Amino acid sequence: MDDELLSDLSPFLSGDPGNSTEDPGWWATSGGTETVHLVVRCVMTSVYILIITVGLLGNITLVKIFITNSAMRSVPNIFISSLAVGDLLLLVTCVPVDAFRFFSEEWVFGEAACKLIPVIQLTSVGVSVFTLTALSADRYKAIVNPMDIQTSSAVFWTCLKAVSIWLLSVLLAIPEAVFSQVVSMQGHGANATFMNCVPYPMSNQMHPKIHSVMIFLVYFLIPLVIISVYYYHIARTLMKSAHDMPGEVQEHTRRQIETRKRLAKIVLVFVGLFALCWFPNHVLYMYRSFHYHQMDLSLAHLVITLLARVLSFSSSCVNPFALYLLSESFRRHFNSQLRCGRGARQERQASYLHSTSHIRLTSIKKATPTAAIVASAANGSTTRQEVAL
């Protein structure tokens, strides 16, 4: 999605500020360019290794927990597992390739990788943002329409939705493979050229502008607007329910509301982290697309570019940490996965018993008044699915 990174950094990585009309700054001297070159390589390589290591550990553990623990196989957790798989795909493919660019002034992976890597990155981003939208819709349905019955086939249909999101993300990313190409671009030195992978034809100056705007709309702005609408109705319903709950069912209803609020909060944190991590990269990509032939060699632009790249890839490793902080059940399972021996097995058993007992506690008792029985019969399976997280 951001294949112009190399063209922005090549003057710094090559130590050649070139003949740009802009003031190249203090690194115009040989010593300055060598210093920038060394700092960028060392710092970015270390940061990328940290992102890959932490992301793999967190997301693999997350997926393993949801696969091996039946108590954790719920509708929200299926979507979260799909998010983790998309993040893993990005971590093992796009992040290493992007890190290698700091050691080479050219695209050295060939035409096939030039077409494949953008597809993988855009697919991962699509899975993330579309799954977050689906999670928001699921929370909306659970909170705003609690009378809708969720049958035993809810898990199957959720898996089908997750697979559909993957297929949609791949289909939307196919144009990246069709139009991406390796081209020879003009460098900043006299008669200097380098090979770069670009995601659109170079024959028309409108292509980069259209590409960046469409990416921003489809993979950022439109989904976030939809999510905002969902959460507006969720917040309004929760505030209304706090005032309208009957006194005789207040205790049980409060437990249900707290459970749903907690799950809605987790999804909202995921959405906020995604927006925070990807917004700078989207803005920077559009800026460069609309100023394609005006290379910005300022130190501020270099720092912003590097920070935007780090933030965008960091989005692939922050969700497990957010879930660890917000979900007590996930935190227990995560801790047990990081230990071995009898102590870990005992903790897993205790964790499972705690989860099932928690489910029983939040289920509706037969002694509940008639009005509550009707409501709980409609969403009893929803309660079990929600508590699992």
Q: Phi first, then psi: give them for residue 183, nearest 5 degrees.
A: -130, 160
Amino acid at 384: R
Amino acid at the residue 359? I
> What is the Cα–Cα distance from 272 to 267, expressed in whole angstroms?
9
CATH number of the domain encompassing residue 121: 1.20.1070.10
- Distance set, CA 29 to CA 12, 26, 102, 261 (Å): 12, 7, 20, 57
Helices 110-144 + 75-100 axis angle, to 10: 150
Alpha helices in 180-298 (DSSP H): 206-216, 222-244, 250-290
Q: What is the spatial distance between Cα 235 and Cα 227, in angstroms, rounded to a whole number?
A: 12
| Predicted pLDDT at 146 | 65
Predicted pLDDT of residue 53 = 95
What pLDDT sits at residue 187? 61
For residue 292, being part of any structural domain is answered with yes
pLDDT at 106: 81
Token readout for 263 is 């799950």
Helices (H), 108-249: 110-144, 154-179, 206-216, 222-244
Return contacts of 299-303, CB within 8 angstroms, 24+ apart: 299/25, 299/26, 299/27, 301/8, 302/8, 302/9, 302/12, 302/36, 302/40
- Number of domains, the chain: 1
Indicate whether this model's pTM tops 0.85: no
For residues 216 and 234, is the Cβ–Cβ distance under 8 A?
no
Residue 276 lies in a domain: yes
Q: Is residue 152 packed enough to be buried (19+ CB in 10 Å), middle (13-18) or exposed (0-12)? A: exposed
- Residue 205 burial (CB count, 10 A): 11
Q: Which pair of structure tokens corresponds to residue 345?
A: 């097995």
Whether 389 maps to a domain, the answer reads no
**Long-range contacts of 158-164, Cβ-Cβ distance < 8 Å, separation of 24 or more:** 158/75, 158/78, 158/79, 159/78, 161/79, 161/134, 162/78, 162/79, 162/81, 162/82, 162/131, 162/134
* Host H or E run for residue 26: none
Which range marks the domain in which residue 143 is found? 1-13+26-337
Q: Note whether residue 9 is domain-resident.
A: yes
Is 141 within a domain?
A: yes
Residue 199's pLDDT is what? 81
What pLDDT score does 358 carry? 40
**Per-residue pLDDT of the chain in tens (389 residues, 90 and over written 9):** 555 444 444 444 433 333 333 344 444 444 556 777 788 888 899 999 999 999 999 999 999 998 888 777 788 889 999 999 999 999 999 999 988 888 877 888 889 999 999 999 999 999 999 999 999 999 898 888 765 555 667 888 899 999 999 999 999 999 999 988 888 876 655 556 778 888 877 777 788 889 899 999 999 999 999 999 999 998 888 777 666 555 555 566 666 667 777 888 899 999 999 999 999 999 999 988 887 666 667 778 888 989 999 999 999 999 999 999 988 888 888 888 877 544 445 544 544 444 443 433 333 233 333 333 333 433 444 444 454 56
**Apex 90 CA angle, 300 and 118, nearest 5:** 75
In this structure, is residue 93 part of a structural domain? Answer: yes
Q: Is residue 351 part of a domain?
A: no
Given this model, what pLDDT does residue 36 score?
A: 74
358 in a structural domain: no
Q: Which residues contact 129 (CB under 8 A, 6 or more apart)?
A: 219, 220, 223, 224, 274
Distance of alpha carbon 212 from alpha carbon 172, whole angstroms: 14
Q: Would you state the structure tokens that stand for residue 110, as one six-digit string?
A: 């060939």
Query: Tokens 């699915």 appear where?
Result: 385
- In this prediction, residue 363 carries a pLDDT of 32
- In whole angstroms, give the CA distance from residue 212 to residue 208: 6
Nearest to 89 by CA among 192, 173, 200: 173
SS3 190: coil
Instruction: Give pLDDT, residue 310.
Output: 94
Per the rule left: phi > 0, alpha: psi between -120 and 50, beta: everything else, 341 is left
